[in-house]
Amino acid sequence: LNNYMTIELKAKKSRNVKIISLIIMAINIAVMAAWLSNFQSVLSAFSGDQFMGFTSAVSFFLLSLGVLTSQKRSNSILLLSKVAIVSVLIISVLTIGQYLFNFDNVVNVFDLKFSSRLPFWVSICFLLIGGAIWGMHSKSNVINKITQYCY
Sequence-separated (6 or more) residues with CB below 8 Å from residue 81: 65, 66, 67, 68, 69, 70, 137
4/63 Cα distance (integer angstroms): 31
Number of H helices and number of E strands within the chain? 7, 0
Please return the burial class of 32, using the count of CB atoms within 10 Å of its CB with bins 0-12, 13-18 and 19+.
middle
Helix (H) or strand (E) holding 105: none
- Provide the pLDDT confidence category of residue 99 given band limits of 50, 70 and 90: confident
Share of the chain above pLDDT 90, in %: 21
**Residue 52: other Cβ atoms inside 10 A:** 18
Mean pLDDT of 118-131: 90
Residue 5 pLDDT: 53
d(CA 135, CA 144): 6
Average pLDDT on 118-141 reads 86
pLDDT digits (tens, 9 = 90+) for 19-75: 999 999 998 898 888 888 877 666 666 555 666 788 888 999 999 999 888 887 788
Cβ atoms < 10 Å from Cβ of 55: 23
Q: pLDDT of 130-147, one tens digit each?
A: 988 888 777 788 887 777
Question: What is the chain's length?
Answer: 151
- What span, in angstroms and rounded, lies between the C-alpha atoms of 58 and 32? 7
